[in-house]
Amino acid sequence: MKFNTPTTSVLYSIEETIKAYRKLSQQNISRIVPNITIDQALILIIIDREDKTQSEIADLVFKDYASMTRIIKLMLDKEYLIKTTDIQDKRKTKLSVTKNGKQIIEKLKPIIKENRAVALDAISDEELQQLYNILNKITKNCQIKK
Amino acid sequence: MKFNTPTTSVLYSIEETIKAYRKLSQQNISRIVPNITIDQALILIIIDREDKTQSEIADLVFKDYASMTRIIKLMLDKEYLIKTTDIQDKRKTKLSVTKNGKQIIEKLKPIIKENRAVALDAISDEELQQLYNILNKITKNCQIKK
DNA sequence: CACATTTATTTGATATATCAATTATTTTTA
DNA sequence: TAAAAATAATTGATATATCAAATAAATGTG
Protein backbone atom coordinates (compact mmCIF):
# COMPACT_ATOMS: atom_id res chain seq x y z
CA MET A 1 0.00 0.00 0.00
CA LYS A 2 1.21 3.49 -0.86
CA PHE A 3 0.50 6.79 0.82
CA ASN A 4 2.04 9.18 -1.60
CA THR A 5 -0.29 12.00 -2.51
CA PRO A 6 -0.84 14.79 0.03
CA THR A 7 -4.34 13.71 0.83
CA THR A 8 -3.63 10.02 1.21
CA SER A 9 -0.84 10.23 3.72
CA VAL A 10 -1.60 9.00 7.21
CA LEU A 11 -0.41 12.33 8.47
CA TYR A 12 -3.41 13.75 6.72
CA SER A 13 -5.63 11.26 8.54
CA ILE A 14 -4.14 12.32 11.84
CA GLU A 15 -5.06 15.92 11.11
CA GLU A 16 -8.55 14.86 10.14
CA THR A 17 -9.04 12.88 13.33
CA ILE A 18 -7.76 15.52 15.69
CA LYS A 19 -9.90 18.17 14.04
CA ALA A 20 -13.00 16.03 14.23
CA TYR A 21 -12.33 15.34 17.89
CA ARG A 22 -11.70 18.98 18.72
CA LYS A 23 -14.90 19.97 17.00
CA LEU A 24 -16.97 17.39 18.87
CA SER A 25 -15.36 18.36 22.17
CA GLN A 26 -15.83 22.07 21.68
CA GLN A 27 -19.48 21.65 20.75
CA ASN A 28 -20.26 19.56 23.79
CA ILE A 29 -18.31 21.77 26.15
CA SER A 30 -19.99 24.90 24.81
CA ARG A 31 -23.38 23.47 25.62
CA ILE A 32 -22.53 23.29 29.31
CA VAL A 33 -19.89 25.96 29.79
CA PRO A 34 -20.15 28.80 27.29
CA ASN A 35 -17.12 30.96 26.64
CA ILE A 36 -14.45 28.40 27.37
CA THR A 37 -12.29 26.74 24.74
CA ILE A 38 -11.15 23.13 24.86
CA ASP A 39 -7.58 24.35 25.27
CA GLN A 40 -8.55 26.46 28.24
CA ALA A 41 -10.58 23.61 29.70
CA LEU A 42 -7.70 21.14 29.50
CA ILE A 43 -5.22 23.64 30.90
CA LEU A 44 -7.53 24.61 33.74
CA ILE A 45 -7.85 20.97 34.80
CA ILE A 46 -4.13 20.40 34.62
CA ILE A 47 -3.34 23.49 36.67
CA ASP A 48 -5.75 22.25 39.30
CA ARG A 49 -4.13 18.84 39.35
CA GLU A 50 -0.45 19.62 39.05
CA ASP A 51 1.63 22.12 40.93
CA LYS A 52 3.78 23.32 38.09
CA THR A 53 5.03 26.55 36.59
CA GLN A 54 3.52 28.04 33.51
CA SER A 55 6.25 26.72 31.23
CA GLU A 56 6.03 23.24 32.68
CA ILE A 57 2.32 23.19 31.99
CA ALA A 58 2.96 24.51 28.50
CA ASP A 59 5.33 21.62 27.88
CA LEU A 60 2.77 19.20 29.21
CA VAL A 61 0.08 20.31 26.78
CA PHE A 62 2.44 20.99 23.86
CA LYS A 63 1.81 24.71 23.87
CA ASP A 64 4.25 27.44 23.02
CA TYR A 65 5.10 29.64 26.01
CA ALA A 66 3.74 32.65 24.19
CA SER A 67 0.44 30.91 23.60
CA MET A 68 0.37 29.82 27.21
CA THR A 69 0.81 33.38 28.43
CA ARG A 70 -2.19 34.45 26.42
CA ILE A 71 -4.38 31.51 27.32
CA ILE A 72 -3.61 32.08 31.00
CA LYS A 73 -4.38 35.77 30.65
CA LEU A 74 -7.85 35.02 29.34
CA MET A 75 -8.54 32.70 32.25
CA LEU A 76 -7.25 35.27 34.72
CA ASP A 77 -9.66 37.79 33.22
CA LYS A 78 -12.50 35.33 33.64
CA GLU A 79 -11.35 34.73 37.21
CA TYR A 80 -10.84 31.01 36.79
CA LEU A 81 -7.24 31.42 37.91
CA ILE A 82 -5.05 33.41 40.27
CA LYS A 83 -1.45 34.11 39.46
CA THR A 84 1.30 34.85 41.94
CA THR A 85 5.04 34.98 41.55
CA ASP A 86 7.15 32.30 43.17
CA ILE A 87 8.90 33.78 46.20
CA GLN A 88 11.93 31.51 45.87
CA ASP A 89 12.41 32.41 42.21
CA LYS A 90 10.69 35.56 41.12
CA ARG A 91 10.91 34.64 37.47
CA LYS A 92 8.50 31.82 38.04
CA THR A 93 4.75 31.86 38.20
CA LYS A 94 2.40 30.11 40.59
CA LEU A 95 -1.03 29.40 39.25
CA SER A 96 -4.02 28.33 41.28
CA VAL A 97 -7.62 27.69 40.45
CA THR A 98 -10.29 29.90 42.04
CA LYS A 99 -13.53 28.60 43.54
CA ASN A 100 -15.21 29.76 40.40
CA GLY A 101 -12.67 27.84 38.36
CA LYS A 102 -13.20 24.73 40.43
CA GLN A 103 -16.94 24.89 39.80
CA ILE A 104 -16.24 25.09 36.10
CA ILE A 105 -13.97 22.07 36.36
CA GLU A 106 -16.70 20.03 38.00
CA LYS A 107 -18.98 20.85 35.11
CA LEU A 108 -16.31 20.03 32.57
CA LYS A 109 -15.19 16.67 33.91
CA PRO A 110 -18.19 14.60 32.88
CA ILE A 111 -18.30 16.21 29.47
CA ILE A 112 -14.66 15.51 28.78
CA LYS A 113 -15.09 11.95 29.94
CA GLU A 114 -18.10 11.56 27.68
CA ASN A 115 -16.27 13.13 24.73
CA ARG A 116 -13.49 10.59 25.06
CA ALA A 117 -15.97 7.77 25.37
CA VAL A 118 -17.77 8.87 22.23
CA ALA A 119 -14.55 9.32 20.28
CA LEU A 120 -13.15 5.97 21.35
CA ASP A 121 -16.36 4.01 21.12
CA ALA A 122 -15.87 0.48 19.80
CA ILE A 123 -12.11 0.83 19.81
CA SER A 124 -10.60 -2.11 21.64
CA ASP A 125 -7.84 -1.85 24.20
CA GLU A 126 -5.59 -3.62 21.77
CA GLU A 127 -6.28 -1.05 19.10
CA LEU A 128 -5.72 1.76 21.57
CA GLN A 129 -2.39 0.28 22.46
CA GLN A 130 -1.45 -0.12 18.81
CA LEU A 131 -2.48 3.44 18.08
CA TYR A 132 -0.52 4.71 21.01
CA ASN A 133 2.61 2.80 20.02
CA ILE A 134 2.53 3.85 16.38
CA LEU A 135 1.90 7.47 17.22
CA ASN A 136 4.80 7.42 19.63
CA LYS A 137 7.06 6.02 16.95
CA ILE A 138 6.07 8.79 14.57
CA THR A 139 6.51 11.43 17.25
CA LYS A 140 10.01 10.16 18.01
CA ASN A 141 10.86 10.09 14.31
CA CYS A 142 9.87 13.73 14.05
CA GLN A 143 11.86 14.77 17.06
CA ILE A 144 15.23 13.61 15.85
CA LYS A 145 17.41 16.69 15.82
CA LYS A 146 19.76 17.29 12.96
CA MET B 1 -5.21 -0.48 30.15
CA LYS B 2 -6.88 2.80 31.08
CA PHE B 3 -6.51 6.22 29.50
CA ASN B 4 -8.33 8.39 31.95
CA THR B 5 -6.36 11.47 32.86
CA PRO B 6 -6.14 14.31 30.35
CA THR B 7 -2.53 13.66 29.56
CA THR B 8 -2.79 9.93 29.14
CA SER B 9 -5.59 9.82 26.62
CA VAL B 10 -4.70 8.72 23.11
CA LEU B 11 -6.28 11.90 21.91
CA TYR B 12 -3.48 13.65 23.68
CA SER B 13 -0.96 11.48 21.82
CA ILE B 14 -2.57 12.38 18.53
CA GLU B 15 -2.09 16.07 19.31
CA GLU B 16 1.49 15.41 20.27
CA THR B 17 2.21 13.55 17.05
CA ILE B 18 0.63 16.04 14.73
CA LYS B 19 2.43 18.92 16.42
CA ALA B 20 5.77 17.16 16.20
CA TYR B 21 5.18 16.45 12.53
CA ARG B 22 4.10 19.98 11.73
CA LYS B 23 7.17 21.33 13.47
CA LEU B 24 9.54 19.04 11.58
CA SER B 25 7.83 19.85 8.29
CA GLN B 26 7.85 23.59 8.82
CA GLN B 27 11.52 23.60 9.75
CA ASN B 28 12.55 21.64 6.70
CA ILE B 29 10.34 23.63 4.36
CA SER B 30 11.62 26.93 5.73
CA ARG B 31 15.17 25.92 4.91
CA ILE B 32 14.34 25.68 1.23
CA VAL B 33 11.40 28.03 0.77
CA PRO B 34 11.33 30.85 3.29
CA ASN B 35 8.04 32.61 3.96
CA ILE B 36 5.72 29.75 3.19
CA THR B 37 3.77 27.81 5.79
CA ILE B 38 3.06 24.10 5.63
CA ASP B 39 -0.61 24.88 5.23
CA GLN B 40 0.10 27.12 2.28
CA ALA B 41 2.45 24.54 0.81
CA LEU B 42 -0.11 21.76 0.98
CA ILE B 43 -2.87 23.94 -0.41
CA LEU B 44 -0.68 25.21 -3.23
CA ILE B 45 0.07 21.66 -4.32
CA ILE B 46 -3.55 20.64 -4.15
CA ILE B 47 -4.71 23.62 -6.17
CA ASP B 48 -2.16 22.71 -8.80
CA ARG B 49 -3.34 19.13 -8.90
CA GLU B 50 -7.09 19.45 -8.58
CA ASP B 51 -9.45 21.69 -10.44
CA LYS B 52 -11.75 22.58 -7.58
CA THR B 53 -13.37 25.62 -6.06
CA GLN B 54 -12.05 27.28 -2.96
CA SER B 55 -14.60 25.59 -0.71
CA GLU B 56 -13.97 22.20 -2.19
CA ILE B 57 -10.28 22.58 -1.49
CA ALA B 58 -11.08 23.78 2.01
CA ASP B 59 -13.08 20.62 2.61
CA LEU B 60 -10.25 18.55 1.24
CA VAL B 61 -7.72 19.95 3.69
CA PHE B 62 -10.15 20.31 6.61
CA LYS B 63 -9.96 24.08 6.64
CA ASP B 64 -12.71 26.49 7.49
CA TYR B 65 -13.83 28.59 4.53
CA ALA B 66 -12.84 31.73 6.39
CA SER B 67 -9.35 30.40 6.95
CA MET B 68 -9.16 29.37 3.33
CA THR B 69 -10.03 32.85 2.14
CA ARG B 70 -7.19 34.27 4.17
CA ILE B 71 -4.66 31.63 3.25
CA ILE B 72 -5.50 32.12 -0.43
CA LYS B 73 -5.18 35.87 -0.03
CA LEU B 74 -1.65 35.54 1.27
CA MET B 75 -0.68 33.35 -1.66
CA LEU B 76 -2.28 35.76 -4.11
CA ASP B 77 -0.18 38.55 -2.58
CA LYS B 78 2.94 36.45 -3.01
CA GLU B 79 1.85 35.74 -6.58
CA TYR B 80 1.82 32.00 -6.21
CA LEU B 81 -1.81 31.95 -7.32
CA ILE B 82 -4.22 33.68 -9.67
CA LYS B 83 -7.87 33.93 -8.86
CA THR B 84 -10.69 34.33 -11.35
CA THR B 85 -14.43 34.00 -10.98
CA ASP B 86 -16.18 31.07 -12.60
CA ILE B 87 -18.13 32.31 -15.62
CA GLN B 88 -20.81 29.65 -15.29
CA ASP B 89 -21.42 30.47 -11.61
CA LYS B 90 -20.13 33.82 -10.52
CA ARG B 91 -20.21 32.87 -6.87
CA LYS B 92 -17.46 30.40 -7.48
CA THR B 93 -13.75 30.93 -7.65
CA LYS B 94 -11.21 29.50 -10.04
CA LEU B 95 -7.71 29.22 -8.69
CA SER B 96 -4.62 28.53 -10.71
CA VAL B 97 -0.97 28.34 -9.90
CA THR B 98 1.40 30.88 -11.47
CA LYS B 99 4.76 29.99 -12.97
CA ASN B 100 6.30 31.34 -9.83
CA GLY B 101 4.01 29.10 -7.80
CA LYS B 102 4.93 26.09 -9.90
CA GLN B 103 8.60 26.70 -9.28
CA ILE B 104 7.89 26.77 -5.57
CA ILE B 105 6.00 23.51 -5.86
CA GLU B 106 8.97 21.83 -7.52
CA LYS B 107 11.13 22.89 -4.61
CA LEU B 108 8.56 21.72 -2.10
CA LYS B 109 7.87 18.27 -3.47
CA PRO B 110 11.08 16.56 -2.46
CA ILE B 111 11.00 18.15 0.98
CA ILE B 112 7.47 17.01 1.64
CA LYS B 113 8.34 13.54 0.45
CA GLU B 114 11.35 13.49 2.71
CA ASN B 115 9.36 14.80 5.68
CA ARG B 116 6.91 11.94 5.31
CA ALA B 117 9.69 9.45 4.95
CA VAL B 118 11.35 10.72 8.12
CA ALA B 119 8.10 10.76 10.07
CA LEU B 120 7.12 7.28 8.94
CA ASP B 121 10.53 5.72 9.15
CA ALA B 122 10.47 2.13 10.41
CA ILE B 123 6.69 2.03 10.41
CA SER B 124 5.54 -1.05 8.55
CA ASP B 125 2.77 -1.09 5.98
CA GLU B 126 0.75 -3.15 8.39
CA GLU B 127 1.14 -0.55 11.10
CA LEU B 128 0.24 2.19 8.66
CA GLN B 129 -2.89 0.33 7.74
CA GLN B 130 -3.78 -0.20 11.39
CA LEU B 131 -3.17 3.43 12.17
CA TYR B 132 -5.27 4.49 9.25
CA ASN B 133 -8.15 2.20 10.22
CA ILE B 134 -8.20 3.20 13.87
CA LEU B 135 -8.00 6.89 13.07
CA ASN B 136 -10.89 6.52 10.67
CA LYS B 137 -12.96 4.84 13.34
CA ILE B 138 -12.30 7.67 15.75
CA THR B 139 -13.07 10.25 13.11
CA LYS B 140 -16.38 8.61 12.35
CA ASN B 141 -17.22 8.38 16.03
CA CYS B 142 -16.67 12.11 16.34
CA GLN B 143 -18.78 12.94 13.34
CA ILE B 144 -21.98 11.33 14.55
CA LYS B 145 -24.56 14.10 14.63
CA LYS B 146 -26.92 14.37 17.54
C1' DC C 1 31.91 41.20 43.29
C1' DA C 2 31.01 42.69 38.24
C1' DC C 3 29.68 40.81 34.07
C1' DA C 4 28.15 37.37 31.00
C1' DT C 5 24.96 33.64 30.48
C1' DT C 6 20.87 31.22 31.36
C1' DT C 7 16.03 30.81 32.59
C1' DA C 8 10.92 32.15 32.93
C1' DT C 9 7.83 34.93 31.09
C1' DT C 10 6.05 38.54 28.12
C1' DT C 11 5.25 41.23 23.90
C1' DG C 12 5.00 42.10 18.86
C1' DA C 13 4.02 40.55 14.39
C1' DT C 14 1.90 37.50 11.43
C1' DA C 15 -0.70 33.08 10.29
C1' DT C 16 -4.41 30.11 11.18
C1' DA C 17 -9.05 28.47 13.68
C1' DT C 18 -13.72 29.30 14.59
C1' DC C 19 -18.14 31.30 14.85
C1' DA C 20 -21.43 34.64 13.37
C1' DA C 21 -22.93 37.86 10.18
C1' DT C 22 -22.76 39.77 5.47
C1' DT C 23 -22.63 39.96 0.36
C1' DA C 24 -23.33 38.29 -4.10
C1' DT C 25 -25.14 35.03 -6.89
C1' DT C 26 -27.79 31.00 -8.04
C1' DT C 27 -31.69 27.87 -7.47
C1' DT C 28 -36.34 26.71 -5.58
C1' DT C 29 -40.79 27.31 -4.77
C1' DA C 30 -45.17 29.30 -4.47
C1' DT D 1 -41.65 35.26 -12.36
C1' DA D 2 -41.11 37.41 -7.71
C1' DA D 3 -39.82 36.12 -3.29
C1' DA D 4 -37.60 32.77 -0.45
C1' DA D 5 -34.02 29.63 0.27
C1' DA D 6 -29.56 27.86 -0.67
C1' DT D 7 -24.71 28.35 -1.94
C1' DA D 8 -19.81 30.42 -2.36
C1' DA D 9 -17.02 33.49 -0.60
C1' DT D 10 -15.84 37.31 2.48
C1' DT D 11 -15.39 40.03 6.76
C1' DG D 12 -15.25 40.90 11.79
C1' DA D 13 -14.08 39.43 16.26
C1' DT D 14 -11.61 36.62 19.18
C1' DA D 15 -8.47 32.56 20.29
C1' DT D 16 -4.43 30.08 19.37
C1' DA D 17 0.37 29.02 16.88
C1' DT D 18 4.89 30.43 15.97
C1' DC D 19 9.01 32.95 15.73
C1' DA D 20 11.88 36.65 17.23
C1' DA D 21 12.98 39.99 20.42
C1' DA D 22 12.61 42.02 24.99
C1' DT D 23 12.36 41.90 30.29
C1' DA D 24 13.47 40.50 34.58
C1' DA D 25 15.51 37.59 37.71
C1' DA D 26 18.83 33.95 38.87
C1' DT D 27 23.16 31.65 38.21
C1' DG D 28 27.90 31.00 36.67
C1' DT D 29 32.59 32.57 35.93
C1' DG D 30 36.69 35.10 36.14
Residue A117 has pLDDT above 50, yes or no: yes
Q: How sure is the predictor about B2, in pLDDT bands with cuts at 50, 70 and 90?
A: very low
Q: In degrees rounded to 5, what are phi and psi of residue A83?
A: -120, 130
**3-class DSSP state of B140:** helix
Residue B4 has pLDDT above 80, yes or no: no
- B119 - beta bridge partners? none
Q: How sure is the predictor about B1, in pLDDT bands with cuts at 50, 70 and 90?
A: very low
Residue range A90-103: mean pLDDT, rounded: 96
For strand B81-85 and strand B93-97, is the pairing parallel, antiparallel, or unpaired?
Answer: antiparallel
Weakest-pLDDT range from A5-9, A58-62, B42-46: A5-9
Residue A146 has pLDDT above 60, yes or no: no
Give all strands (DSSP E) within chain A, no chain letters.
81-85, 93-97
Contacts with B14 from chain A: Cβ below 8 Å: 14, 17-18, 21, 135
> Percent of chain A at pLDDT above 70?
93
A residues 35-54 lying closer than 8 A (beta carbon) to B: 42, 45-46, 49
CATH of A7-143, one of 1.10.10.10, 3.40.1000.10, 1.20.58.760, 3.30.160.110: 1.10.10.10
Residue range A27-45: mean pLDDT, rounded: 95
What pLDDT, on a 0 to 100 scale, did the predictor assign at position B105?
97
A residues 99-138 lying closer than 8 A (beta carbon) to B: 112, 116, 118-123, 125, 127-132, 134-138
Contacts with A49 from chain B: Cβ below 8 Å: 5
pLDDT in tens, A44-81: 999 999 999 999 999 999 999 999 999 999 999 999 99
Q: CA B1, C1' D7: Å apart?
A: 47
Q: How sure is the predictor about A118, in pLDDT bands with cuts at 50, 70 and 90?
A: very high
> Do A95 and A60 touch, CB atoms closer than 8 A?
no
Q: How sure is the predictor about A3, in pLDDT bands with cuts at 50, 70 and 90?
A: very low
Tell me the C-alpha distance between B140 and A21, whole Å. Answer: 10
Hey, is the C-beta of A33 within 8 angstroms of any chain B C-beta? no
CATH of B6-116, one of 1.10.10.10, 2.30.29.30, 1.10.287.3510, 3.30.450.20: 1.10.10.10
Hey, is the C-beta of A88 within 8 angstroms of any chain B C-beta? no
- b/e sequence A76-110, b meaning 16+ C-beta within 10 Å: eebebbeeeeeeeeeeebebebeeebeebbeebee
What pLDDT, on a 0 to 100 scale, did the predictor assign at position A6?
55
Q: How sure is the predictor about B8, in pLDDT bands with cuts at 50, 70 and 90?
A: low
Tell me the C-alpha distance between B57 and A90, whole Å. Answer: 49
Q: CA B83, C1' C10: Å apart?
A: 40
Residue B72 has pLDDT above 60, yes or no: yes
Q: How sure is the predictor about B3, in pLDDT bands with cuts at 50, 70 and 90?
A: very low
